Amino acid sequence: MTENVWTRWPSREALLPESVSRPRRLMSWAVRLTVFGMLLWGAFTSSRLHGWGSVAAAVGLVVAVCVAWGFFRTTLAHRVWPSLALVAVLLAIAVAARSVGFEGPALVIWCGCAVVALERLPLASALPVTSVALVSYAVVSDDAWLTTVATAGGLALAGYVLRLDAEARGSAQRLLAQERAALAAEAESAALTERARIAREIHDVLAHSLSAQMVHLEAARLLIERDADRQQILDRVVAARGMARDGLAETRQALSALRGDLTPLEDFLAQLVETAESGAEVTITGERRTLPAEASQAVRRVAQEALTNARRHAPGAGVRVRLDYGAHEVTLDVRDSGGPPGEVTGSGGGYGLLGMRERAELLGGSLRAGPGEEGFVVTLKVPV
């Protein structure tokens, strides 16, 4: 049968006690223990039963409590036939209690079955159980018929309201679980993103720097084996030492970036052009603002690589650095005025424009590098 409103069970979240607040659970248990204590006291103090009869009544009451507990467990497991069997046992216990003169406990069991059936069973099963329980209550009730009808209607309404309340709590529990899962997934994604960023930083700083040092040191070793000129060997060693120094400085800068201790981008560019061997100038246009860490780091790396390349390949050429803050992107333009080609003794150092192009593409931007009207032009665009 297709599940619909008549055959659908209340959700497990609705039936679980965890969905109920602690004060409400304590109040519920207090009411249950009070009712059980009163019924148990009535069984021992009844004038109709003495001795073993009172003991038998108390045992029957305990059995009813155990059956009710089993009913709660089977409904939690959504097992309809065992649940109906257990509620039938409860109704039979109520009939037996009524037959020996225990009208109070019988009424309590019938009313309780009517309420919990509507609260915990599918409506197609709950309505017959509730009808039987309320009819049994009405038959033995000594109240006026109007009072009996009103009480029966109130019990049915209370059971359905409890069902709606449980469903609302169950829906809240499911939404809370989904929210927690979404937050956990978001935290995991953020952690993976941060790990990827750290991995890129380590690769950019160490891999290229160390590989370049290895090239120069290997060249120095070969020159030594060939008994080459001392100055040639010294040049290679000095180049390797310079790259090690630059790599250490870049490692410190990368660690500062990971800690969020970066200097303002404008100050970094100003310091960068001040340390350049050739004449360089920097221009900032647009509304200045703080950039995301990845975008800021990409601009810094590209500016550094472009100035390094200009110093190595076109020594003495003038370099113009322009940083433009656009509405949706930031643009870095580094161009030199051209000049005599320099000795590429540092070839392979730095991070390489290829790595910078990959970094820009990961951020959704672009990097173009090539000859311009006078010299070489590097243009980076990063969306922000």
DSSP sequence for 266-335 = HHHHHHHHHH-SS-EEEEEEE---PPPHHHHHHHHHHHHHHHHHHHHHSTT--EEEEEEE-SSEEEEEEE
- Residue 109 vs residues 39, 128, 131, 150, 168: alpha-carbon distances, Å: 11, 16, 14, 18, 26
Q: Please give the model's pTM, rounded to 2 decimal places.
A: 0.49
Three-class secondary structure of residue 83 per DSSP: helix
Show Cβ contacts of residue 267 under 8 Å, excluding neighbours closer than 6 positions: none
Report which of 241, 206, 205 is spatially closest to residue 220, judged by C-alpha positions: 241
Say how many CA atoms lie within 13 Å of 284 toward its Cβ.
Answer: 11
Per residue of the chain (384 residues), give pLDDT as tens. 445 778 888 887 777 776 666 776 677 667 767 766 666 665 555 555 555 556 676 777 788 888 988 998 898 888 989 999 999 999 998 888 888 777 777 888 888 889 889 888 898 989 999 999 888 888 887 778 888 889 889 988 988 888 888 888 888 888 888 899 999 899 888 888 777 777 776 776 676 677 778 888 888 888 888 888 888 888 888 888 887 887 777 777 767 666 666 678 888 888 777 766 556 788 899 888 888 877 888 888 888 888 877 777 777 778 889 999 988 899 999 988 776 554 433 334 445 677 778 778 888 899 988 887 777 889 999 998
